[in-house]
Structure formats: C-alpha cells, structure tokens
C-alpha cells in the first residue's frame, strides 16, 4: 500500500519524466525543408512502392531515349 511519502515521490518522478520528454521534443530541430518533414512518412505504403517502380521505369525509358537521340 502506498503511503503519502511514496505517492509524493512517484508524482515527482512522473513530473520529471514529463519535463524530460517535453525538453526532448523542444530540442528537435524544426526544418523548413518540406522534403525533410515527409521523408520516411509513407515508405511502407504499397502506393508509395508502386510510385517508386513507375519512377524507375520512367527514368530508364528517358535514359534509353537520350541514348537513341545521341546516336549510341
């Protein structure tokens, strides 16, 4: 059973933990770069992976078109 002293000690510990968490949150640098803000936010989404595939195919097709235009 908790007595008043133990309860007070636990409350102080909780308050300190909350203060520590708030400090860590406030110490994180805020970026103005939109890309840094969203990097990694949807990496597990199937639509994102599908978009990556389309991008890769498009880049490869552009590379082939450039090589054909250059006469290679």
User: pLDDT-derived band of residue 54, with 50, 70 and 90 as boundaries?
Assistant: very high
- What is the token pair recorded at 40? 């990694």
Q: What is the pLDDT of residue 72?
A: 55
pLDDT digits (tens, 9 = 90+) for 21-43: 999 888 777 777 877 777 777 76
Q: CB-side exposure of 47: number of CA atoms within 13 Å?
A: 2
Residues 6+ apart with CB under 8 A from 65: none
**CA 68, CA 72: separation in Å to the nearest integer?**
6
Residues 6+ apart with CB under 8 A from 2: 10
Tell me how far the alpha carbon of residue 46 is from its chain's centroid: 17
**CA 70, CA 51: separation in Å to the nearest integer?**
28
What value does the mean pLDDT take over residues 58-64?
A: 82
The residues spanned by each domain of the chain are 1-30, 32-72
The pTM assigned to this predicted structure is: 0.39
């Amino acid at each position: 059973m908790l007595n008043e002293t133990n309860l007070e000690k636990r409350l102080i510990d909780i308050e300190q933990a909350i203060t520590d968490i708030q400090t860590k949150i406030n110490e994180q640098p805020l970026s103005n770069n939109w890309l840094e803000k969203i990097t990694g936010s949807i990496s597990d989404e199937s639509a994102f992976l599908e978009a990556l595939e389309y991008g890769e195919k498009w880049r490869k097709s552009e590379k082939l078109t450039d090589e054909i235009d250059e006469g290679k």
